[in-house]
Amino acid sequence: MTTQTYKTVTAHEVTDTMLEEAAKLFSENYGIWGRHSGKAATGLLRSLRKTTDDIYGIMSSHPAACLAAAKSFGTTIEKISLDFIRRKAHRTMKSSPIPYIQNATLRGTIFQPEDTSGMVSGVNTGFFVDHEEPQKVLQAVRGNWQWPLGDLPDGHEYLLVMPAKHRRPTPSSLPLGEAGRPD
């Protein structure tokens, strides 16, 4: 049995060594999900959730990342709302602290009905990666689910934006009143 542990660190706790290791991992594995477990991706994304968040999103060239994000943030890829993405994407991306996300251009038929690329929801990042492995995964995904995000042109990434699903507090998590019952 494998145990996975996730740790969230604040910005002031991040060391140069951590950044170097993360950069190496990213550059050596970007777009390669075949070696990684979907459960690991889902677990990692779930560890990022905060009760104060209203919207979650992901930009990725890999369908497995989009599947993991949808699952992690409370839905399935087939139940995402393209209308929600259309309405919230621009403002959500512009509020990101990451310039790469802020500067990406919205693309796809939900943003530009005249778009003929086959993309439904995505962004033009100008970031060209090998799509061979993600395309193989996309074929398998389309065999199991209705893929709502469309095709992926070179230099683009899929865009998935979802409302946060807040869990209702359970009685055991509520503060107790004088009678020993949740207030």
Asked if pLDDT for residue 32 goes beyond 70, the answer is no
Of the two residues 54 and 158, the one the predictor is more confident about is 158
Checking phi first, is residue 128 left (phi over 0); if not, alpha (psi -120 to 50) or beta? beta
Q: What is the pLDDT of residue 4?
A: 62
Answer yes or no: are the C-beta atoms of 77 and 66 closer than 8 Å. yes
Cα 9 from Cα 88, distance rounded (Å): 28
Q: In which band, very low, low, confident or very high, does the pLDDT at 152 lie, cut at 50, 70 and 90?
A: very high
Q: What is the pLDDT of residue 52?
A: 61
Q: In which band, very low, low, confident or very high, does the pLDDT at 170 lie, cut at 50, 70 and 90?
A: low
Over the stretch 2-15, which tens digit does the pLDDT of each residue have?
666 667 777 788 88
User: pTM for this structure?
Assistant: 0.71
User: Mean pLDDT across the chain, nearest whole number?
Assistant: 80
Asked if pLDDT for residue 176 goes beyond 50, the answer is yes
Asked if pLDDT for residue 172 goes beyond 60, the answer is no
Asked if pLDDT for residue 96 goes beyond 70, the answer is yes
127: Cβ contacts below 8 Å, ≥ 6 apart: 61, 100, 155, 157
Cα 123 from Cα 118, distance rounded (Å): 13
Listed in order, strand segments (DSSP E) in the chain are 55-60, 105-107, 122-124, 156-163
φ/ψ (deg, to 5) at 77: -60, -30
